[in-house]
Structure 1
Amino acid sequence: MAEHNEWFFPRGALSDGSWESVVDARLDGWQHTGMRVAELAGDTVELPAGDVERIVVPLSGAFSVGHEGATTHLAGRSSVFDGPTDVVYVGAGNALAISGFGRVAVAEAPTRVRKPSVHIARDEVPVELRGAGRDSRQVHNFAVPGNETSPGTLDAAALIVCEVITPAGNWSSHPAHKHDEDVPGHESQLEEIYYFESAPVRGANAPQNADAFGSFATYRSAAGDIETNALVRTGDIALVPFGYHGPAVAAPEYDLYYLNVMAGPGEERAWLISDDPRQAWLRDTWTAQETDPRLPYVPTTQGAAR
């Protein structure tokens, strides 16, 4: 049987040097995705060239990313609850250096395929309002594969990355679903990283020491045993090597955010999921409900925090 919460890592549990958290193949049983999170105060973190593609995602603040003899300036945002940010994709084979003020994440996937680096501006990020009623959430699809109706924003080799904002009291990653076996046209085999942040709901008269949190769950599928049932706070990370995952639930007083990073062993970069058949029916209930009127979340202040 799976050990309870063995794939859940509280903030700082994966620290490595200047990085608050590092997820990579050094973790037993993990091989297709990676993530790094750092908090910078004008200093610089560097990553070497190699067979790895990366996306730099400002969580809060603004940053400069040096790569391929040039510098990409990321305007960033005040917080993850201020809607999408601009990001930069740095193709495999390139070193990079990140400097600035604030919190920054780097999504990674090992690959030998070389794709051109690209800056995606904030207003180029597709914003999707998914679900309805208390299942309403906001998704920033800046690095997801294309389909018949959309060419996709980023032509990456393996990385699939998006952000989700779940307003206070709502549910996301719901219904529970999986992507742990390769079924052409139906399901992709993908590892997934969840990086969380939480904060008092907009306009709340919350004290400085308010303990903002949400919750997240995973459970077994035919691919393997997994059991996560954790309260999640800013900086926490949950890994999903296989199994059903969801829901992610925002407490009534706190908004919840997560950054998803996915990649897998398949040659096709595709994001195809299978709902838990016992929960799939709830999607049909959305047609009779309105989208949460609090969405979309857009900036509440001008410019990024500095």
Structure 2
Amino acid sequence: MSNFFPFDEQKGYREIVKIGDVTRYTGFSLLTLEQGESFRGETGGKETVLIILSGSCNVRAGEEFFEDLGKRENVFSGKATAVYVPINSNYEIQEIAGKKLEIAVVSALAEKQYAPFVIRPEDVVVNHRGTAGYQREVHDIVVENAEGKVDRIVVGETFSYPGQWSSYPSHKHDKFDPPVETEMEEIYHFKVFPKEGFGVQVIYNDELSLREAYMVKDGDTVVINEGYHPVAAAPGFKVYYLWLMAGPYGRKLTPKDDPKLVSALKNSN
């Protein structure tokens, strides 16, 4: 089964990455609601984060009710609003702005049950990373700011500037080798502005027995369960990707940079 899932425009709820197919811990779905529509779901054994990509809604998670969530017109227009829904919980989403609502439903297998909570734009931690050639803006949605409030899931957004690389210098996190590296699989969901543009997702390992590249368009999804995985934005186009991570050894991410690449970069300066 391929790790690349091209965008397929459909209404309602559609599961794109099912846990157990190409992933062990993480799943990804999209929900699109039109004016006044609602959706009910349940988490089962998966803790879930509902990231509002565009539009506004009310969300009921278990016994908690959160009103008037989401203000951005699209992912490029502001910081995210999200809702954490714990395992073994029901939830309901109601569109309230009279226009299209798009939500990323990301999940991870979990054991501990916590309380539902909202991540508002002011709770998102913004990081400016990189230098000339690989500058980007990284938004932590459910990362260290959610420690002690979630079991396994890690979620954020990266905004790559036109013509720039991100997730660079290339890094990976597919082996448990503390303190050098931890094991976490990852899912990327892409948006491109303007949507006619594209980015490039590269995935490779040290031996180059894995060496792949995908032309990623607006709405595409990629699963990364092995290897280094840098992303490039075509000149003139912004590339966004929502990222979701989880693994068997806790939530602390310890990525390992490609040592050959890092050494070559140092020697070239």
Q: Give the TM-score normalised by the residue count of structure 2.
A: 0.89
Check the 8 A contact 1:111/1:158 in 2, yes or no. Answer: yes
Describe the SS at the equivalent of 1:104: strand
Check the 8 A contact 1:193/1:261 in 2, yes or no. Answer: yes
Describe the SS at the equivalent of 1:123: helix
- In the aligned structure 1, how far is the partner of 2:4 from the partner of 2:219? 11
Corresponding position of 2:82 = 87
Q: 2:51 is matched by which residue type in structure 1?
A: V
- 1:25 and 2:19 matched: yes
- In the aligned structure 2, how far is the partner of 1:195 from the partner of 1:128? 19
Corresponding position of 1:127 = 126
From 256, 261, 264, give the equivalent of 1:274. 256
- In the aligned structure 1, how far is the partner of 2:122 from the partner of 2:134? 25
Describe the SS at the equivalent of 2:251: coil
Displacement after TM superposition at 1:26 (Å): 4.4
Corresponding position of 1:171 = 165
Q: 1:111 is matched by which residue type in structure 2?
A: A
Alpha-carbon spacing, 1:40–1:283, altered in 2? closer, same or farther (3 Å): farther
Structure 1 residues 244-302: Cα deviation after superposition (integer angstroms, max 9, x where no partner): 211x1111111000000000122x221110011122248869xx9xxxxxxxxxxxxxx
- In the aligned structure 1, how far is the partner of 2:153 from the partner of 2:177? 19
Which deviates more from structure 2 when the two are superposed, residues 210-219 or residues 127-136?
Answer: 210-219
Corresponding position of 2:178 = 184
Describe the SS at the equivalent of 1:19: strand
Displacement after TM superposition at 1:220 (Å): 2.7
Give the RMSD, CA atoms, in angstroms: 2.4
Check the 8 A contact 2:204/2:212 in 1, yes or no. Answer: yes
- In the aligned structure 2, how far is the partner of 1:272 from the partner of 1:140? 17
- In the aligned structure 2, how far is the partner of 1:53 from the partner of 1:61? 23
Task: Point out where structure 2 has 5 or more consecutive residues left out of the alignment.
Answer: none
- 1:261 and 2:256 matched: no
Displacement after TM superposition at 1:221 (Å): 4.5
- 1:242 and 2:226 matched: yes
Alpha-carbon spacing, 1:48–1:21, altered in 2? closer, same or farther (3 Å): closer
Check the 8 A contact 2:170/2:258 in 1, yes or no. Answer: yes
- In the aligned structure 1, how far is the partner of 2:58 from the partner of 2:83? 10
Displacement after TM superposition at 1:240 (Å): 0.6
- In the aligned structure 2, how far is the partner of 1:71 from the partner of 1:48? 15
- Larger strand percent: 2
Describe the SS at the equivalent of 1:141: strand
Q: 1:261 is matched by which residue type in structure 2?
A: L
Describe the SS at the equivalent of 1:269: coil
- In the aligned structure 2, how far is the partner of 1:211 from the partner of 1:195? 16
Q: Aligned runs of 1:1-306 on 2, under 5 Å? A: 6-12=2-8, 18-27=12-21, 29-42=22-35, 43-73=37-67, 74-100=69-95, 101-145=100-144, 152-154=145-147, 155-200=149-194, 211-221=196-206, 226-246=210-230, 248-266=231-249, 268-281=250-263
Describe the SS at the equivalent of 2:53: strand
Check the 8 A contact 1:7/1:228 in 2, yes or no. Answer: no
Check the 8 A contact 1:44/1:99 in 2, yes or no. Answer: yes
Identity of aligned residues (%): 29
Displacement after TM superposition at 1:92 (Å): 1.4
Corresponding position of 1:205 = none
Q: 2:7 is matched by which residue type in structure 1?
A: R
Check the 8 A contact 1:55/1:107 in 2, yes or no. Answer: yes
Structure 1 residues 129-164: Cα deviation after superposition (integer angstroms, max 9, x where no partner): 01122211011111113xxxxxx2453100011100
Displacement after TM superposition at 1:225 (Å): 5.2
- In the aligned structure 1, how far is the partner of 2:185 from the partner of 2:118? 25
Displacement after TM superposition at 1:63 (Å): 1.8
Q: 2:197 is matched by which residue type in structure 1?
A: A
- In the aligned structure 2, how far is the partner of 1:76 from the partner of 1:156? 25
Displacement after TM superposition at 1:93 (Å): 1.7
Q: 1:198 is matched by which residue type in structure 2?
A: V
> Which structure exhibits the higher relative contact order, with contacts defined as CA atoms closer than 8 Å and separated by 6 or more residues?
1
Alpha-carbon spacing, 1:36–1:282, altered in 2? closer, same or farther (3 Å): farther
Count of residues paired in the alignment: 261
Displacement after TM superposition at 1:44 (Å): 2.1
